[in-house]
Structure 1
Amino acid sequence: MRLPGTRYQEPGWEEVRKLLGQCSLAALRAGAPAHPDSDPQARADALERYVEAMAAALHALRRTARAQAPGNAYGDSVFELALSLLFELQARPADWHALCEALDGVDRGGADDGLLRKKVNDMYALLRDRVDADNYQAACGRPCSANRMYAYRMLDTAYGEIARLFADWERHRDQVGAILGRELAGVPIEVRQLRGIGGCRPEWVLRWSATRARFGPGPGPLHTRSKRFASLKDQPERIGAMLAEIGEYQVLSDNRDRDWLQDLDDAAVWMEDYWRVLQESVDAAVPGPDRILEARQDALDADACDADARDPAAAGVDPDDAQADCAAQDGLGAAGDGQALAAAARLEAIALAVALPPGYMQAAAHAEEAGGWVARALRDAGLPVRLAVYARVLGAADDAYPDAWRDPASGELPTMRQLAALAQVSLPTLRKRRDAAIDKLVAIERPAAIEQPGAAPIRRSG
């Protein structure tokens, strides 16, 4: 049986009880509990000695099969449940005092093991119900006593007996008929309908308890003189509510976090890799503080730069561009180089923001023919403006465009919005600069067109 906050109400309790009884025999024989008339300090000292002896005995048996067996559906082992209940005893000395009174006058050295086990089992059985009742109140906010927890467990046991009888109804035809309140003429439909404790009807529990005197070893729990279940006698509504509560929480907790087990394993593997990488970095670290090495120019780059500066025409590079490149390389490590790197990083971020590949501006500028008359005429306008001019005059998908100019997604030149973002201006501003650049080209070409009558002047498309 599982209820919110409970840990000791499942079948694993039997192994917990046996482990506690086994360890208690040695602890009680080694040190007798305090006499009932002893002062409170003597009782507290006796309880402390008992807890220490029990903890040592439990730890000595923690590797046994019984201690490692599962104690409940939440992953607690029998050893863990026994140890935690032992510490609960230390926090609730009233149960220890009751055990001392029960063992008063009993010779622990020569007493029967069965008697000592019974006294200890009674103490821990009451303690577990009190602990689970308190945890149930904390989890649900509803009042609960140890006696009510015992009633929950009785109803769970009653359901188990009813389910067993229903599963073998042919051998227990008379008792099943008495529980259902009718004679059985065939397979009862209730046998197939009973899927869980939530489907168990309260009248079945009452009739099952009544049939125990006739078909069982004695009267049922609801038909005895005991007052423990007096609140449930002839109370089918209360019984039904308690059965429904047990069934509802059982459905909620049946998955046992199976959906999250894979995530748990993945997280554990990730943490192992994380700590492994950290350890490897520590092992590979060099002594002394961390240092960032100074950026130095490669010797081959320096020689190539000197050769291009001496004869830029032979290298096929524009003289002004060669001098600018050499000046940029010579300035590595200076403040200007840091600004250039920051600008390049900013352009890459802008390109990614408008769905263009990183490094688009650098690749497009490199692919542009520096010796072309349009590039020379619009050198100060900037690459985005020149691309806007090409798109306006020749269209966005001309075959003459290099691949570095094209947007990989469309196979054409970037749109005006993308070019405006690359130029870091607004769209109307880019249109104005594009139109001004076209006017500049028209003004430059018009004399040449007059000298060459067959040449067609540049006109704005559209």
Structure 2
Amino acid sequence: MRLPGTRYQEPGWEEVRKLLGQCSLAALRGCDPARLLDPAARAALLDDYVEAAGVQLHASRGSARAQAAGNGYGDSVLELATDLLFELQARQADWDAFCAAVAGETARDPAFWGPAGEGLLRKKVNDMYAQLRDKVDADNYQAACGRACSPNRMYAYRMLDTAYGELARLFAGWEQHRGQVGAILGRDVPPGVAPIEVRQLRSIGDCRPEWILRWSATLQEFGGAPGPLHTRSKRFASLKTSPDKIGAMLREIGDYEALSANRDQDWLQDLDDASVWVEDYWRVIQESQESATPGPDRILEAAQDALDAGEPESADDADPADALSPGTAPDPAWPALALSVSLPPGFMEAAGQPAGALGPAERLLAQDGVPVRLAVYAKLLGPGDESYPDGWRDPATGELPTMQQLAALARVSLPTLRKRRDAAISRLEAALGRSMANEVQEEADAHG
């Protein structure tokens, strides 16, 4: 089972539990039982235990169990075990509960600390870490989702996931379990014809709450012991009469299972590919900087910087877009430029014609030309504002031309157009005292 923020609810937990139990027994053998039984000495003993168990974990780092996958997020068994060990050091209450349980066993049987009691001691260690696991995952779930979650609720999630697994097993072998499957479905299941529910149960999200309740009820008859929802325990009291809660929890598990179904493998491959690409890119840049001839990226950047900084040598060399201001004569190249970006041949003339008296924003933008002026409007008001006149719009979209189209009309690169647009907006902000968007909107309304 995987839920947001959780790390210990997957099958890898069994190996984490075994590794912690193995290392804990080795660490506890070196402890003085008298200190463990003395409440005043437990805090210092916890530090000693964590240090000793950490040494044992480190010594086992090369084992197959330690290196095994602990969950689908890429954490190894060793990493999960180490994190949980140090989490215990921050939760004194869990250690105190463990010590109290051990003290109770020792009072009943003084030989508890001997070889005969090793199995029971390991069970106490397992119980301590199982409770700690649910507390840690519940806290992380709350941080990830912003929803309240207690350790008991985390335990309920896991119970429902286990119940779904049992249901799926029974449904898959429905012919061998017709009696129990029929009881779960609430009807008789004839031989030879698979119930439609068998085909419908494809994931935990498809599991119905009433199936879980009936499955738990059938365990007394078909398994010999009461099911988790039919015991005297109060652990699942809130679920026994709340099928809607069960359904919501099943869907939540199913939704996150579907979301994380790739187990991060595809993303890890993309990460590796991206890392290799970035390494190659910086290697080429480094080699170009160290060689006599700059690399292609540096050549293009230098050339573009020179074009941006340079002034036209003559009127013939001037950028037609920059020169276009009210009253400017049309340039013969404009129709071809407009057609090259799928705009009407007369677009530049139509977009450059004043509509009545020029406002202050229009006068300040006139020196920048049509592409920059339209880029400013698109930035401040958006490309599809209803106040724009038809002459400004691309007939294909009904909106202002894109930045790529405007850059082609201005005969500059897209980054250069962005710099000129931002420079024009800065001038407007410096020259006009009120909101740029309001000022430009008023003048656009005047054009409309």
Tell me the TM-score normalised to structure 2 length. 0.62
Displacement of 1:194: 0.5
Displacement of 1:344: 11
Q: What does 1:66-145 correspond to in 2, within 5 Å?
A: 66-104=65-103, 105=106, 107-145=112-150
Distance 1:281 1:240, change over 3 A: same
1:174 matched to 2:179: yes
Q: What does 1:17-36 correspond to in 2, within 5 Å?
A: 17-32=17-32, 34-36=35-37
In structure 2, the residue matched to 1:43 is 42
Moved over 6 A (4+): 277-282, 341-344, 347-351, 424-427
Deviations 1:10-66 (A, max 9, x none): 111001101111111100111146344432xx3221111111111111111112111
Identity, % of aligned positions: 69
In structure 2, the residue matched to 1:264 is 271
The one-letter amino acid of 1:253's match is S
Distance 1:426 1:139, change over 3 A: closer
In structure 2, the residue matched to 1:366 is none
Q: What does 1:182-261 correspond to in 2, within 5 Å?
A: 182-185=187-190, 186-261=193-268
Deviations 1:356-400 (A, max 9, x none): xxxxx9xxxxxxxxxxxxxxxxxxx88769xxxxxxxxxx9xxxx
Displacement of 1:228: 1.2
CA distance in 2, matches of 1:382, 1:207: 88
CA distance in 2, matches of 1:68, 1:160: 27
3-state DSSP of counterpart to 1:137: helix
Checking the alignment, whether the CA contact within 8 Å between 2:17 and 2:126 is kept in structure 1 is: yes
CA distance in 1, matches of 2:168, 2:64: 30
The one-letter amino acid of 2:25's match is L
CA distance in 2, matches of 1:167, 1:24: 40
Displacement of 1:111: 4.2
Unmatched segments (≥5 aa) in structure 1: 286-340, 352-360, 362-380, 386-395, 397-406, 411-416, 418-423, 428-462
How many pairs were matched up?
313
Checking the alignment, whether the CA contact within 8 Å between 2:72 and 2:264 is kept in structure 1 is: no
Displacement of 1:244: 1.3
CA distance in 2, matches of 1:161, 1:93: 37
In structure 2, the residue matched to 1:152 is 157
In structure 1, the residue matched to 2:352 is none
Checking the alignment, whether the CA contact within 8 Å between 1:69 and 1:77 is kept in structure 2 is: yes
In structure 2, the residue matched to 1:64 is 63
Unmatched segments (≥5 aa) in structure 2: 292-301, 319-331, 341-347, 349-366, 371-448
Displacement of 1:5: 1.0
3-state DSSP of counterpart to 1:101: helix
Checking the alignment, whether the CA contact within 8 Å between 1:206 and 1:234 is kept in structure 2 is: no
Displacement of 1:165: 0.4
Tell me the TM-score normalised to structure 1 length. 0.60
Taking only aligned residues, the RMSD between alpha carbons, in angstroms, comes to 3.6
1:4 matched to 2:9: no
Q: From the CA coordinates, give the structure whose radius of gyration is larger.
A: 1
Distance 1:270 1:118, change over 3 A: same
In structure 1, the residue matched to 2:307 is 346
The one-letter amino acid of 1:142's match is R
Distance 1:426 1:228, change over 3 A: closer
Of 93-102 and 104-113, more deviation after overlay is shown by: 104-113
Checking the alignment, whether the CA contact within 8 Å between 2:36 and 2:45 is kept in structure 1 is: no
The one-letter amino acid of 2:307's match is R
Distance 1:383 1:45, change over 3 A: same
